[in-house]
Amino acid sequence: MFRLLLTAVALFFSAMTIGQEFQNLEARMTKPFYDKVKSDSITALKFHSSQKAVLIRAEKSYISLNLFNSAMSLIDEQKIKKSQKEVYLGEYIQDHRIIAVTHSFAGRGFSTLYAYVYDVNSKKLERRELSKTPIDKRLGLFSTKKNSEFVLDKDSETFSIVTTFKRKDLIQYSFETFDAVSLEQKYVQELQRQDLRAYEILDVILNKDGQLEVFGQFIPESVQAKSAADASHIATLDIIDANGIATKETVIEKALPKGVKPIITESHIFINDFIEGDAGNGVNQIETLIFDRENFTLDERLVYEFDDAVYQAFFGKQRGERKKKKRKGLGEFRINYVIPSNNNGYFVLAELKEIIVIMTGGGLNGMGGTSTRIVYSDLLVFHLDNEGKVVWADHVEKDTTGVFAAYNAFMSDGRLNIMLNGGKNYDTNRNGDRNLNRGLFEGSALYRVAYDTNGSQQIQKIQDNSQDYFLPRFGSFVNDKFIMISDSKSRRRFLILE
């Protein structure tokens, strides 16, 4: 049954051909343009159907918009001043307009939503006030944690702003839904949970009719005093529309993973997580939970223990066999991507989490100290079938990165493509894997690592990074092209791969 479901979502997300020969991507670099924005922060790079592109940067005191023609030459730039209490939420394309949404708490006692509407044809920019809502006096402004999330339906016909207000004794969620074309408000709903301090939203799903499905979880107040290991959890699905809020709940044995985007079909919700086995020596299993979307019951829990192929992909043959025999885990991972494939399954991409201990200076008494920093290093690639079983896994050694994933991944021509920067002179280590780590005095280069659904790996070295260092994380795959921008304070280029 689930094979048919995941087949449908795979076909929906990607229309790809099977069995196509691997071909290198051709790289084309645009002419440089002078960038007045002296910042490395790129919020979004959006592409219009006319092949025009808009580069968006949201800084503390302003929002910058740069418009490029189909040749990626700069033809217009706009700079929007904003208050420090105005937070950038998200953006979308609607016909010939780029619409950016912000949330402001600048007015005392009010929460205000704005839309900045930029016409790519006329190059005109306007600001519209979407809503101005009084804030519950019990929440206040200075003693409350506030957070907002922008949610857009896949057809760009409606969007919602989910705002969270948190105090010790009160949590309030506000859901404001708008027509994405007219920018008119469709409805506002508020959800309050008095005693559920452990409640959290995991994902929000919005359809073009404006109905929200809010996927969350909490620990019941009666068992919050217990340890997290012993406490049962409640998974929730709140159905929200103009008529009100309907809540569905189901008991689960342990907390669902945070930050992992579930795969949603018309009838089911699939969510994956890396878990430890009974030995407790690190991750050695991948778990798939399958929820019935209509009744919101946990239909099935699938657990797949890593086999020899996974260990050998990560550690090499001999060391992998020893690790597997001793039931040693692989460490702790962060899932970055869950991407449906065209072969009745999906890819899971995750980075290895590491803790670096840094020695600090001596001080007056000559005694030093330490501080720690979390970084993410090697990449683990899984291909799972639609029953949650790992078909194959592979391991890519790459440079250590900070909070954000420094690579990009997308499906094209029936292959998973991973774009990342690595060492200029990559070699093959004893595992037979490609080692893309950069040496101490080694330059860097841009790489494409590609997999077909059978696990065959191809690596393309696209170019050395010399004057221009391109940022795959901010790239976009659109119209069968992958486009990314260079990292520079003033002179920037685009690199187009097709």
- Residue 320 in 3-state DSSP? helix
Residue 31: both structure tokens together? 């002419």
Q: How far apart are CA 155 and CA 177, in angstroms?
A: 15
- Predicted local confidence at residue 199, as pLDDT: 81
- Residue 12 in 3-state DSSP? helix
- Predicted local confidence at residue 128, as pLDDT: 96
Q: What is the pLDDT along the chain (498 residues), one digit of tens a residue?
A: 444 334 444 443 444 444 467 889 999 999 888 888 876 677 888 887 778 889 898 888 899 999 999 888 999 999 999 887 899 999 999 889 999 999 998 767 788 999 999 999 999 999 999 999 887 666 655 556 778 899 999 889 999 999 988 776 677 889 999 999 999 999 999 987 655 567 888 889 898 889 999 998 887 765 555 555 556 788 999 999 999 999 999 988 888 887 777 878 788 888 888 887 765 667 788 888 899 988 999 998 888 888 887 787 777 788 888 888 877 777 778 888 889 887 678 899 988 877 776 766 555 555 566 777 777 778 889 898 877 678 888 888 877 766 667 789 999 988 999 998 888 877 645 445 567 777 777 778 889 999 999 999 888 889 888 888 888 888 888 888 898 888 876 788 899 999
280: left (phi over 0), alpha (psi -120 to 50) or beta: left
Q: Amino acid identity of 209?
A: D
Q: How far apart are CA 300 and CA 282, in angstroms?
A: 24
Domain boundaries, the chain: 82-255
The H or E element spanning position 461 is: strand 457-464
- Residue 11 in 3-state DSSP? helix
The burial class, CB within 10 Å (0-12 / 13-18 / 19+), for 84 is exposed
Report the 10 Å Cβ neighbour count for 184. 9
Report the 10 Å Cβ neighbour count for 440. 4
- Predicted local confidence at residue 366, as pLDDT: 55
Q: CB-based contacts of 40: which residues, under 8 Å, 6+ apart?
A: 487, 489
Q: How far apart are CA 159 and CA 144, in angstroms?
A: 25
- Predicted local confidence at residue 221, as pLDDT: 63
- Residue 309's Cβ-side half-sphere holds a number of Cα atoms within 13 Å equal to 11
329 phi/psi in degrees, rounded to 5: -85, 180
Helices 308-315 and 317-325: crossing angle in degrees, nearest 10, is: 130
Q: How far apart are CA 477 and CA 456, in angstroms?
A: 22
26 to each of 16, 465, 483, how far by Cα in Å? 19, 16, 12
pTM, 2 dp: 0.80
| Angle, CA 282 vertex, CA 278 and CA 283 arms, to 5° | 85
Contact 450, 417 (CB under 8 A): yes
N-to-C CA span, the chain:
37
Q: In what order do the strands lie in the sheet with 62-68?
A: 44-47, 53-58, 62-68, 74-81
- Predicted local confidence at residue 3, as pLDDT: 41
Rg (CA), the chain: 24
Contact 451, 381 (CB under 8 A): yes
- Predicted local confidence at residue 390, as pLDDT: 80
Residue 324: both structure tokens together? 């597997």
- Residue 221's Cβ-side half-sphere holds a number of Cα atoms within 13 Å equal to 6
Q: CB-based contacts of 450: which residues, under 8 Å, 6+ apart?
A: 22, 415, 416, 417, 418, 457, 458, 459, 460
The burial class, CB within 10 Å (0-12 / 13-18 / 19+), for 187 is middle
398 to each of 91, 354, 426, 446, how far by Cα in Å? 31, 13, 10, 12
H helix intervals, 377-491: none
Report the 10 Å Cβ neighbour count for 469. 12
The H or E element spanning position 211 is: none
